[in-house]
Structure 1
Amino acid sequence: MNDRMTTPWGELALARFPEDPRERLRAWDASDDYLLRHLADREVPLSGAVVVLGDRWGALVTALAAHRPVQITDSYLGQEATRANLARNDVETGAVTLLTTQDPPPERVDVLLVRVPKSLALLEDQLLRLAPAVHEGTVVVGTGMVKEIHTSTLRLFERILGPTRTSLAEKKARLIFCTPETAKEPPANPWPHTYTLPDDIGPASGATVVNHAGVFCAERLDIGTRFFLKHLPYDTGGARVVDLGCGNGVVGTAIALADPEAEVLFTDESFQAVASAEATYKANGVSGHAEFRVGDGLVGVPAGSVDLVLNNPPFHSHQATTDATAWRMFSEARRALRPGGELWVIGNRHLGYHLKLRRLFGNSELVASDPKFVVLRAVRE
């Protein structure tokens, strides 16, 4: 959906990435609008090093491009949306510096604007990484929808940076104001987090899992992945395997542990996730062949080049429930698979993935089920 956002600095044409004419979700929301209006109405000085953390689709940095901001994001899709939106609004190349959450943070921050992420852990990690660059004169303003900002969010700003308060709500959005205290010694960063898998899940039993902040199920193995691990096709015969939407990489690592001859591609749109997958793989001393790629699913993987795709698709895009991501993952998997290649999917029973697989592949087999999850197999004909 290509939409036009009115800002204090003019009107912007904005879209999510990948752009889909059927998409009804905008590339900005009321919290982005609230923050930009606050900056203009209060004449907040946007001088020096302006850093925007968590800008979801580039609306904030596109609006503030004249101030040459730095964007820090965990999302490859968000970063690509930003590039496209800057070009769409004729912003010069290089006006915005694009960094990922895995890049070294700026050495100095004079204005810190934070779009509160869904993950409190990711917010903690990023504030801790940025804290050394913040000084007493740094302007810190956060923004988010009311349902995204909790007491724990405010406590996190306060514990790491300094005294924190919130604004009144407008259009179900709220601002966060934080006054940095440089004498404050920030706590040690607890991320990445490491844990050991249980002993009853097949080849990955007892394996080490490394999770960077913000990656799904950072503290322990989730029940869906546990169920998937018990039913994976481990006898791959040195196949070309993709862990699609790899998260911490435990699924692909389990395949590699079972079959060191397998070639495993770990791919995710989250920079934190791919870093976690690589760390998990290396932590277990796997002697196989692996590739780690941040990107848009299987885009760029040659058609007919893959034997097996393993997928636990997300059904949320930030706070919105949608099957668009799953549909694109299944479609890309079908394109990338060779004839006779297989897509294995785990999902909640109520999501009806078997219907989508039948539409795309012409077949869908139930491999295993329990009261909550199903494991499905589709074959590329």
Structure 2
Amino acid sequence: MNPQSEVLLRQYDYLSGRVLLINAPTDQLLAELGDSIQASVWTWNFNDYQYFQNQQAQVHFGAELPVGEFDQAVIFVPKSKELLNYLIHTIAAQLPQGSSVFLVGEKKAGIERAAKQLQPYGKTLKLDSARHCQLWQLILDCKVQTKALADWAQNYTVATPKGDLQICALPGVFSQKHLDVGTAVLLPYLNQVTAGKIADFGCGAGVISAYLAKLNPENRIFALDVDAFALASTQMTFEKNQLNPQQLEIKAVTGIEDAPLFLHAIVSNPPFHQGIHTHYDASENLCKTSHRHLKSGGELWIVANRFLNYPLLIEQSFGQCTIKADQQGFKVLFASTQKNTKEVG
């Protein structure tokens, strides 16, 4: 059992009615809640969504609050301060005054700082501190106006040889306020990517997807990410730049195994953070198995931290790996599958 869930269960008597669990951990918490509590889950992580579906839980995947009536909400602290602001505001606009919103999180994840973000919305009280976690209660005492999801996006400009791109990045999305160094290193090489069906794995705010679409109107972009806020950001970025919506297909994925087949190219600034932890599994699987999703002669383009062993993994899978650039701590890596002379198209 996750320690955050354990602390919440220690104060079980505070919970009642229709309780929305926001960003809940994938553990046995739901099974421990009694029949008096009608629990549902809101998550924006596609892996977590599939876990709760398998548990036959009432679960919603998306960047916006699920439709329905709720009596209480429990927010499990996310990594991003801006994302927590969005969650508190959004749930406060939904629940009636006098309702309780609970906030639970690990001390190392910043629960004490996060609890201060509750204060503008009403009276706050620390209910428990155990298992290196804290549980706080907010009793709502103010009226809050709902804000559209797009109003929470940060907007910034990225200069490209094809003109400026306007980027829309929602709270919690990688590189929310400015272009990250890795993508900046990769961008000058995107005009070398073969045209056609291209997957942007870990699409984030849609910088790579939008630029690939702008480079060639014939490109069809599959924007893949585990995070609903990233997928929504990419959609907003396409709309902001008035790109052809028929060029874009948004797809939630658990990893590269969910990517389409017979792609002309896969391009990625691969993710390696999940919550407050570092995970390389998705990125390493991309290096090891992406060739299965490519046509013969299909291309893999990756930008990654210089210290990571991706060139070796790619070489083991593709037979070769070319380092196109090595600058500012990042390498641009390229590989292609063997061409099948019998394959047409």
TM-score, length of structure 2 as denominator length? 0.88
Which is further off, 287-296 or 70-79? Answer: 287-296
1:180 equivalent in alignment to 2:180: no
Cα distance in 1 between the residues matched to 2:323 and 2:89: 45
Cα distance, 1:230 vs. partner?
2.2
1:220 equivalent in alignment to 2:178: yes
Question: Do the aligned residues in 2 keep the contact of 1:70 with 1:97 (CA within 8 Å)?
Answer: yes
Q: How many residues align?
A: 334
1:161-200 alignment, distance < 5 Å: 161-166=121-126, 169-181=129-141, 183-185=142-144, 190-197=151-158, 199=159
CA 1:60/1:332 → structure 2, altered by over 3 Å: closer, same or farther?
A: farther
CA 1:293/1:250 → structure 2, altered by over 3 Å: closer, same or farther?
A: same
The residue aligned with 2:24 is: 55
Question: Which one of 227, 236, 241 corresponds to residue 279 of structure 1?
Answer: 236
Which is further off, 267-276 or 371-380? Answer: 371-380
The residue aligned with 1:319 is: 276
Give CA-to-partner distance per residue, 1:36-80, whole Å, 9 cap, x none.
Answer: 2221xxx22422x21101113254334337433121111111100
The residue aligned with 1:299 is: 257
**Structure 1 unaligned regions, length at least 5:** 6-28, 87-92
1:127 equivalent in alignment to 2:88: yes
Give CA-to-partner distance per residue, 1:151-187, whole Å, 9 cap, x none.
Answer: 541222122x323243564232222222221x35469
Question: Which one of 309, 313, 316 corresponds to residue 359 of structure 1?
Answer: 316
CA 1:107/1:240 → structure 2, altered by over 3 Å: closer, same or farther?
A: closer
CA 1:123/1:33 → structure 2, altered by over 3 Å: closer, same or farther?
A: same
Question: Which one of 43, 63, 69 corresponds to residue 39 of structure 2?
Answer: 69
The residue aligned with 2:330 is: 373
Aligned-pair identity in percent equals 24
Give CA-to-partner distance per residue, 1:73-95, whole Å, 9 cap, x none.
Answer: 111111001122x1xxxxxx4xx
Cα distance, 1:108 vs. partner?
3.5
The residue aligned with 2:221 is: 264
CA 1:133/1:188 → structure 2, altered by over 3 Å: closer, same or farther?
A: closer
Cα distance in 2 between the residues matched to 1:306 and 1:119: 33
CA 1:110/1:294 → structure 2, altered by over 3 Å: closer, same or farther?
A: same
Give CA-to-partner distance per residue, 1:70-123, whole Å, 9 cap, x none.
Answer: 211111111001122x1xxxxxx4xx3211343444454322111101112221
Give CA-to-partner distance per residue, 1:327-361, whole Å, 9 cap, x none.
Answer: 22234422101121111111111122112212222
Question: Do the aligned residues in 2 keep the contact of 1:58 with 1:78 (CA within 8 Å)?
Answer: no
Q: Which has the higher contact order (CA 8 A, sep 6+)?
A: 2
Cα distance in 2 between the residues matched to 1:65 and 1:97: 15
Give CA-to-partner distance per residue, 1:130-168, whole Å, 9 cap, x none.
Answer: 112223442322111101125541222122x32324356
1:232 partner letter: L
Cα distance in 2 between the residues matched to 1:103 and 1:240: 29
2:233 partner letter: S
Q: Let me know the Cα RMSD of the aligned residues.
A: 2.3
The residue aligned with 1:20 is: none
1:240 partner letter: K
Cα distance in 1 between the residues matched to 2:273 and 2:34: 29
CA 1:54/1:65 → structure 2, altered by over 3 Å: closer, same or farther?
A: farther
**Structure 2 unaligned regions, length at least 5:** 339-345
TM-score, length of structure 1 as denominator length? 0.81
